Amino acid sequence: MTNGQPQYPTGLGTSDATTIRLLGHDLAEELMGQVGFGELAFWLAAQRRPNAGEVRLFETVLVALADHGFTPTAIAARLTLLSAPESVQGAMAAGLLGGGSRFLGVTEDTGRFLAEVIAEAGDAARAATDAEWDALARKALAERKAAKRLVPGLGHPVHKERDPRTAVIVRIAREEGAYGPHLALFEAMGRMAPEVLGRALPLNGAGVCGAALADLRLPPELLRGFALLARAAGLLGHLAEELRRPIAADIYHAVDRNAQYVPEDTL
């Protein structure tokens, strides 16, 4: 406390009568028109300014996660706009609140899983060769299999053979010198899956996004937040399209008119 008043420290933004400061810089004079939104989002979360290569990989991840069509989150946003057309914020929030373990959560789950495996391996995960990554992946996969737990980021409900996003993210990470232990371990998981799990499973693009974000040294506990940041753009696109070419009423009517009452004791 200062002079008897409580203090609430922040290193993000502040303002006075004539200026706005963000991250220690003059917003109008030093940031606006000079810093892209992706760079700023990274900077705000990481509290360090990313270099150009990190920005390119980070924005590649955001693009990869922005929209996947009529997912439950997009449908929820459209139906909420139908119900409350005066509340764009409510529709956006409805879609974002649906970002969980089945949709969008795989980015965080994969990043956390890889970080835990690497932390447990300690020195064995430093400057490892492909063979050493394979051995580490084999061990982690076997442990998951024995515990009857799914491996985050392996497999995709639509892209059964390969997720088209995966190779692009890995390539850009390598080009920008941002390919690190999380991506190396995750690629090894894909190589070892047939041997340990008995079948080949593609690296889920959202999972690769989690590995790439972890290699950018972003906190594992924030990884879902970056997926939500990306999906916000997609949801806004769905709401804009809903205003131009509405389909939410058709979805509502299709469910409502085909609802079948089933007595509880027959379920």
Say whether 62 sits in a helix, a strand or coil: helix
pLDDT in tens, 3-28: 778 888 888 999 999 999 999 999 99
Domains and CATH numbers, the chain: 9-49 (no CATH), 105-222 (1.10.230.10)
Cβ contact 154:189 at 8 Å = yes
Instruction: Please give the Cα distance from 200 to 171 (Å, whole number).
Output: 21
Checking if the pLDDT of 1 tops 60, the result is no
Report the predicted TM-score, pTM, of the whole model to 2 decimal places.
0.92
Say whether 197 sits in a helix, a strand or coil: helix
Instruction: Please give the Cα distance from 124 to 224 (Å, whole number).
Output: 28
Smallest CA-to-CA distance from 166 within 106, 229, 241 is with 106
Beta-carbon contacts of residue 69 (< 8 Å; ≥ 6 apart):
none
Structure tokens at 79: 């139906």
Sign of the torsion formed by the C-alpha atoms of 167, 169, 170 and 175: positive
Structure tokens at 196: 């340990």
Structure tokens at 43: 């900077």
* Residue 8: per-residue pLDDT: 86
Cβ contact 237:67 at 8 Å = yes
* Residue 157: per-residue pLDDT: 67
Q: Where are the alpha helices (DSSP H) in the chain?
A: 37-46, 52-65, 72-83, 88-97, 105-121, 130-146, 164-175, 181-197, 205-215, 223-244, 248-257
pLDDT in tens, 125-151: 777 789 999 999 999 999 999 999 988
